[in-house]
Structure 1
Amino acid sequence: MPPLRRLLLLLLPVVLVLFAEADASPSACRNATCGDVPVAYPFWLIDNSSALGCGYPGLGLRCVDNTTLILPFRTHQYRVLDIEYGKHTISLTDADMQHSDTNSSCPHLHANLTIDDNSWLQLASSDSNITFLYNCKSNSSLLSSTSAVKLTGCGAGPEHIGSSYVFLDGWITGEAYDYECETVVVAPVIDAHKKAMVDAHGGLPPADGSFGDVLSAGFELTYSAHSDKCGKCERTKGWCGYRHNETSTTMDFTCFCDEGPTKSHCELGPGISNSNY
């Protein structure tokens, strides 16, 4: 037998084992944590190469310093405050707030959160918006009748020749871009937190209001986790995941079992019925 063919035959069992291990999601799916925070389906840890397939594409989380979970979303990052798996919600705050003084009279954000209708994540009914307009060239008198709050402490110098403002949702008259601002950022917040800030001042908050505190308190996104399928999978001792369809570019729900992945649930053994699961 030629040496090359002999070598290939020797390596074939190793290759098959590697493919089998790659096909069956590892125990990392069951035991993933960041510090003492569990990371479970439909989320997964990006930094763990063996966790690929443990959750939805696009819902991978980074574990920073084994203490902080970060959700990369499009071109920006959001810090995870909480995940309520029973309610299918994840609470986030803009990662920019980690590097900003929450008591600052001018919390500076850099990115809008844009969510498509077909996204895995959607804004929750508990959310509302705050709109920040940074370094606007228009005269402040143009904004005096719009119930805008002019922010203080937004910097000085040649690059800050204009003024910065914040609008609370529902109080904007006209398009924000008409004010010739350098940056316009619409930030989601918890509506109850925003209303509490307004009520505390009997109307519009002052320029040094607690906008940073409201932003740091975050907002909520909801997700659909195929809960019926996942529940059946978990009740049969499997763990839920998502993997590429072999015949298309779509992703399919997968129940990972000790004996390998299935589309529904795990087998409980000879003589044991799955009918109740």
Structure 2
Amino acid sequence: MPNHHLLRILSPCLSLFLLFFFGSFHGVLSTFSTIYGNVSSSSQCGDIFIKYPFWTVSNAAVHHGYPGLGLSCSFGSNYPTLSLTNHTYFVTKINYINETLTLVDIDAADQRCPRARHNLTIGSLPFNYNSANVNLTFFFNCDAPPSVSSPSLDITCLQSGDKWSYVFTNMSQEEEAAFDEACHCEETVVAVVKRTEVTVGNVTEEFAAAMHAGFMLDWEAPKECNACELSGGRCAFNRNEQVMCFCDDESIHNDGSSCKGRDEICSNICDTTC
């Protein structure tokens, strides 16, 4: 059969193949662009700009950022909120250069006489305590006053009948146990505040202002994201907490590997279409 007859027969098939191939390729890239666009977008909640490695809590299949750094934004709110071990905090500042954020316990916000209701627990989340913080140790509903002078404050606004409450700055565990045994307190809670909001050597009546100002945490990349970020990618994870890596060459990796070239996408397409 002459070659031109063969080409005449193959041309429609070749055209269909090329149409299918490039259509599939465009579909993959469109899907990538849709996913990547969703997970890499930034947003603003009140006064706070939210971007990687933080992300806005939603029903999206993939979240672009670190696990545990999802922020919720209520309509009309000045600040987003962050959940730490089932407790909610306002995020009043994010410093993306120093990688720090400032949090205010939602239970203490705007309260004239704030009552610390729980200890701060970070657990396995990608946070560390900032050196700018100090601890305030609260003793609630104590039977007796301190027997010796100490840099403590009796919180008159939390007095209940003949029960008194006190607060100390940077108390050791041994001191905490001794005070609790001597004064027979019903509850002890340790809150964290920024050092600049506390008078040196004394909490003073400004403990409420200190709690309103909040405390600082440092964040760090989870070890699962190190290879991805070192190669120029951005870490993400899906609903199953599977870590993924989104790369500038529009490739996606979910095996913990670093970014590679665009040829991997082409290879994957050929494997499914050829």
Map 1:190-209 to 2 at 5 A: 190-194=194-198, 197-198=199-200, 203-206=201-204, 209=205
The superposition leaves residues 176-224 of structure 1 with CA deviations (integer Å, 9 ceiling, x where unpaired) of: 5423323211111112332xx23xxxx5354xx1111111111111111
> Percent identical across equivalent pairs?
27
TM-score (norm 1): 0.68
**How many Å apart are 1:253 and its aligned residue?**
5.2
Q: Is the 8 A contact 1:63 1:70 kept in 2?
A: yes
Q: Please point out which of 23, 28, 34 is paired with 2:45.
A: 34
Whichever structure has more helix as a proportion of its residues is 2
Give the corresponding residue for 1:97.
108
Q: C-alpha distance in 1, partners of 2:261/2:168? A: 56
SS across alignment from 1:212 = helix
SS across alignment from 1:153 = helix
**How many Å apart are 1:232 and its aligned residue?**
4.7
Give the corresponding residue for 2:152.
148
**How many Å apart are 1:77 and its aligned residue?**
0.7
| CA pair 62-174 structure 1, distance change in 2 beyond 3 A | closer
**How many Å apart are 1:168 and its aligned residue?**
0.9
The superposition leaves residues 86-114 of structure 1 with CA deviations (integer Å, 9 ceiling, x where unpaired) of: 2111111111122412xx4xx21211102
The superposition leaves residues 22-51 of structure 1 with CA deviations (integer Å, 9 ceiling, x where unpaired) of: 9934435323322353212221111x2227
One-letter identity of the residue aligned with 1:163: W
Does residue 184 of structure 1 match 2:188?
yes
TM-score (norm 2): 0.69
The RMSD of aligned alpha carbons is 3.4
Aligned residues: 227
**How many Å apart are 1:155 and its aligned residue?**
4.4
Does residue 54 of structure 1 match 2:75?
no
The superposition leaves residues 66-100 of structure 1 with CA deviations (integer Å, 9 ceiling, x where unpaired) of: 43210111121111011111211111111112241
Does residue 166 of structure 1 match 2:167?
yes
SS across alignment from 1:98 = coil
One-letter identity of the residue aligned with 2:218: T
Give the corresponding residue for 1:222.
218
Q: C-alpha distance in 1, partners of 2:37/2:82? A: 22
Does residue 255 of structure 1 match 2:246?
yes
| CA pair 256-95 structure 1, distance change in 2 beyond 3 A | farther
One-letter identity of the residue aligned with 1:56: Y
